[in-house]
């Protein structure tokens, strides 16, 4: 609700009419439905969940990489319009989300592993959903450019942060470098 006001205050863009119902349907299809299916599989088929847990992270990483690549390729001609200010804003968005996730975890006195998850997920935000909604529901592909940049940044940021935190844990434990 505050995004339009925030954008207007920053002097950004134009008003674009979109169908709230269509965007809501898309969100239900790509966010809520998979969550419900995952919860049901988790509750009703524990053996499937256990098998999926062993390959899930790898499959998720591959799919996220493919999604980021496909999003970037869809708007490749528009990359010439990307400004340093947009790159800084997207980077700050993801870094700020990680910092807030980490701070919340620390303030809530969560276990280090849970704090790490909050930091990583906080930095990864919902760029993929933003890109999907922009490409499906905005009349001009240029509206997808910030989200496409954000999807690639999200992927790189999340994986880099996870790797750095894992490496830090190994060093702290005196283990492998």
Local confidence pLDDT in tens for the 177 residues of the chain: 445 555 566 556 667 778 889 988 988 888 788 878 888 888 899 898 888 888 877 887 788 788 778 777 877 787 777 788 888 888 888 888 889 989 999 999 989 888 888 888 887 767 777 888 888 888 877 778 888 888 888 888 888 888 888 888 888 888 655
- Residue 175: burial class (beta carbons within 10 Å; 0-12, 13-18, 19+): exposed
pLDDT at 108: 92
pLDDT at 106: 93
d(CA 177, CA 171): 6
pLDDT at 9: 60
pLDDT at 107: 94
What is the helix (H) or strand (E) element at residue 163, kind and residue range? helix 145-172
- How far from 7 is each of 18, 80, 89, 97, CA to CA, in Å? 16, 22, 12, 18
CB 150 within 8 A of CB 130: yes
> Is the pTM here over 0.85, yes or no?
no
CB 94 within 8 A of CB 126: no
pLDDT at 1: 45
């Amino acid at each position: 609700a505050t995004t339009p006001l925030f954008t207007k205050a920053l002097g950004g863009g134009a008003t674009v009419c979109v169908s709230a119902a269509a965007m809501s349907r898309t969100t239900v299809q790509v966010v809520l439905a998979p969550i419900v299916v995952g919860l049901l599989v988790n509750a009703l088929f524990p053996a499937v969940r256990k098998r999926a847990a062993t390959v899930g992270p790898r499959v998720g990483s591959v799919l996220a990489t493919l999604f980021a690549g496909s999003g970037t390729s869809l708007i490749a001609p528009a990359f010439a319009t990307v400004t340093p200010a947009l790159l800084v804003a997207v980077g700050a968005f993801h870094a700020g989300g990680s910092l807030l996730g980490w701070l919340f975890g620390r303030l809530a006195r969560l276990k280090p592993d849970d704090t790490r998850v909050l930091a990583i997920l906080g930095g990864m935000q919902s760029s993929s959903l933003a890109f999907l909604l922009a490409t499906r529901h905005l009349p001009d592909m240029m509206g997808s450019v910030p989200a496409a940049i954000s999807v690639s940044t999200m992927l790189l940021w999340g994986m880099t942060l996870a790797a750095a935190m894992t490496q830090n844990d190994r060093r702290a434990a005196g283990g492998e470098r």
